[in-house]
Structure 1
Amino acid sequence: MPYSSFSRSADASPVLQTALAALEAGISVVPIRSDGSKRPALTSWKPFQQRLPTRREVSTWFARRDVGIALVTGQVSGCLLAVDFDEEGCFLTWMARLRQDSQLARLYEEVASGYEERTPKGGRHLLLRCPAIGRSRVLARSRQGGILVETREEGAIIIVAPSAGTVHPTGRPYVLLRGGVQSVRTISPAQLEEICSSLRLLDEQGAPKLIQSSSQPTAGPRRPLQLSATRPGDLLNRDPQVTWESILLPKGWELVRTDGAGCCYWRHPGKRGPHYSATTNHAGDDKLHVFSTSAPLPPGSYTKFAAYALLYHGDFHAAAQALKQRYSSGRPGEGEAFARPASL
């Protein structure tokens, strides 16, 4: 009997119907225990990272109506990938961001129309296929270190609807919102990178590690430089004539586009293709957020002074000394403007 006709049988539970539909779509599946542990109900599920289960195996596993279902991501399932939002707040923050970026919003709609579901904790799962499948990645963490958004890629599993509340420790079910296992969309590697880059903006950690020049002593803290009671770096950050373009463009960075909210998307020197590796002014914060590990700056968030210091001097103290020479101070208390630094 073909999978599709079997899945429409009145004898098949919703989970079995989904499992057979997934198998028909070339997606590997495994059963999930009904004890809230979210663990596979198999002695070993590793073989199904390499091969699809048989119809007989699927029919046996999902004969019990209380088991859940998980899809195996990766090449075995036609390069299936899942984007996993752990909680609703994180997803809604991303949705608000999409309202300011029509290009990204269209990409989300394309993916979500193929498969979108709500998780028991109120988060979201988006399923897609992409030939650039790799290792699973954590894209954003909370300040406390918890995972906010991650991908499930090669050799991972993702629990999906219609798994019931007995599968999850909250006692709530997974609910399919749009699409299904037979309508999962395929996107390009560049489109996947665009989605992942936008999700990295949700990260609540990631402050950059400061780099000291090897020519400077590292023992003991330095006293901060003073310039009319204001640090040179603060002057640079507040200078309206110093833009991100004036800092990044001379160093070979390319401005890809600017969205409706004023967020600018940058490609670092040597990077090719339509995707980007950093943003500036996300949510109006006037900072540089670097995502790419191959960029001249390590992944993290940078003020204008931090970016200037590392790109032009490789050292914060040396950069502050240079700015001290280039800015001429006004008399304290009179609010005189400082001259713009010489060419960065």
Structure 2
Amino acid sequence: MQQTISARDASQKLLAWYDRHHRDLPWRVSPPMAKAGVTADPYHVWLSEVMLQQTTVQAVKPYFHKFLSLWPRVSNLAAADTEEVMKAWAGLGYYARARNLKKCAEVVAREHGGIFPDSEDGLKALPGIGDYTAAAIAAIAFNRRSAVLDGNVERVISRLDRIETPLPAARTQMRARVGEMTPAGRPGDFAQGMMDLGATICTPKRPACALCPLNHGCLAFRAGDQEDFPKKPVKKARPLRVGAAFVASRADGAVYLRKRAEDGLLGGMTEVPGTAWTARKDGGITLDARPFEGDWEDCGTISHVFTHFELRLSVYRAEVCARNDSANGWWEPLASLEAQALPTVMKKAIARALPHAFSSAISPSVNEGTPE
């Protein structure tokens, strides 16, 4: 792997840039705060890193504040009702993260006295913590010299050394290079500085290379082909799955909801009844899955993009006279509908059938934001 900038030079220049241009984030201890004696809270670092997986900083900020207001310490989260945690997470996507978040909090509280392990190996033994998250927590919260490699850092390193190997195969050499560059002092600041550089300067399109502290040693900048990196394999087209969703309402405005099975996609979340679609098979567009007899009106379709497939749901609506909850569901008053653990795809289905169900607009088109 060709290199034109030494690890020492890169880390020094990156840290000097970070001291001047770091982002102020609610979970971060900035350089001025660190100089004043403030130290990182492992709970805050862990919570933010789990939330930030496949999710933007702007999307995470309100959820981070919400979780801290509800559960200020990991022991509080461990003792929380799982359903309440899922409700608080609703809309953030990738719901396995929320389930693992709760499990991890329980393990930390029960087996570690509410104190997070301070090593990568100890952290990786916890539910939902993989290589990246363990390295990030170890570096940022515990000042360990860990090689932190997220999507932003991959972009910086691939351009810096003009790495021709496509992802994900290139990650081994990328991680080795980041490990060389990570200094023994301030490894957490270095990791956060690399993330900030990728997020604000070394962006996927039109990177601001003239402002980059590493541009003098960047091979891709020198070659003028920055946007060609990192190299990625040809993307396979997302398969299309279809299904049906049934939005039943009563005269008093209540909507019929049920809870999904704990395992699988959107496990443990709240939904409206529908056909049994999965990432691997269609649920079909059939009225057989109607929860009640009634005059079901065709409301059109909604689309939603998950990580590995696109889903199109035909939405049907009926006002029914049923008063009692069934064994699998309940009637939720319209006033408290937004507080339920409804994933975005279910909010779209309800909004298609009942346009005024939510106080904020829910687009019925393909979701180009955070996939779930």
Bin of the TM-score, shorter chain as denominator length = under 0.3
Higher normalized helix content (fraction of residues): 2
TM-score (norm 2): 0.24
Q: Which has the larger radius of gyration?
A: 1
Higher relative contact order (CA 8 A, sep 6+): 2
Higher normalized strand content (fraction of residues): 1
TM-score (norm 1): 0.26
